[in-house]
Amino acid sequence: MTNLLELKDVTKSFGRVYSLRKVNMTVRPGEVLGLLGDNGAGKSTLIKVLAGVHQPSAGDILWDGVKTTLDTPRVAMSRGISVVYQDLGIIPLLSIWRNFFLGREEEVSRKLPFHWLLRTSHMRSVARQALTKLGIHIDDVDLTVAKLSGGERQSIAIARAVHFQSKLLILDEPTAALSLKETAKVLSYVRAASEQGVAVVLITHNIAHAFEVCDRFTVLFHGAVAETTEKEGVTEQELANLINTGTRMQHRIAV
């Protein structure tokens, strides 16, 4: 099976600071890959490379087996890469359905040019269906997003990426600010997205959450890959050690 995405020796430096050092990483179609690492490990830099925000200083990116460049966020998006940052790209004072179609209104206008009413009812029903398809139950898509919980906001961003046929969905700390119950829901939507064939890169600090939904893990340590492993090949304790020390072993504290 061809990897959906492959990074080969990707390095990114800002002046004399090396944020990524010869990173090798793969994402398989439809899998959930956990991208783990302590603060400053290079996770955000890596996703900005994938989002077309930063260009690598060295190394190659292969998309569907073909060498590619992601020159701008627009290019990355047109390849099918969706990134949900912590601020989600969602506007609280707009309704759910407006947010769902944010940035895509022109496409809809082209399809239904003269029928304002038809257009809005079309967008409402598409948004409702897309949410339902992922198991998200929100009755009223006319509610403003400001009225929703953090988990529901995440769910809209995930449903949007699935509906608009992203191949790769990157989520940056989606459960960071959520309650336990909300977290469980968001994790279930992550699984649902992958069951619809969308590959997910899940960035998280929380090893238990990662363990619950990921198929594999890539752990970054000081900008380099400490290890990539299948979930079956590692324990939660070893993952914690990899994140903290770069190896599976817990370093002894010197006395």
Ligand X SMILES: Nc1ncnc2c1ncn2[C@@H]1O[C@H](COP(=O)(O)OP(=O)(O)O)[C@@H](O)[C@H]1O
Instruction: Please give the residue ranges that form the binding site for Mg ion (CB under 5 A).
Output: 44
**204 contributes a contact to ligand X by CB under 6 A:** no
**21 contributes a contact to ligand X by CB under 6 A:** no
Q: Pseudo-torsion of CA 63, 68, 73, 74, nearest 10°?
A: -90
The only residue of 10, 27, 34, 42 in contact with ligand X, by rule CB under 6 A: 42
8 Å CB contact between 159 and 130: yes
The only residue of 9, 14, 58, 230 in contact with ligand X, by rule CB under 6 A: 14
The only residue of 43, 153, 160, 216 in contact with ligand X, by rule CB under 6 A: 43
Q: Which DSSP letter does residue 94 get? A: S
In the complex, the smallest distance separating the C-beta of residue 131 from ligand X, rounded to whole angstroms, is 30
Query: Residue 76 and residue 120: Cα distance in Å, rounded?
Result: 28
8 Å CB contact between 226 and 36: no
8 Å CB contact between 20 and 45: yes
Nearest residue to the partner Mg ion, using Cβ: 44
Task: Sort residue 239 into left (φ over 0), alpha (ψ -120 to 50) or beta.
Answer: alpha
In the complex, the smallest distance separating the C-beta of residue 143 from ligand X, rounded to whole angstroms, is 32
**40 contributes a contact to ligand X by CB under 6 A:** yes
In the complex, the smallest distance separating the C-beta of residue 21 from Mg ion, rounded to whole angstroms, is 17
Q: Which is nearer to ligand X, 102 or 177 (CB)?
A: 177
Q: How many residues bind ligand X, per CB under 6 A? A: 11
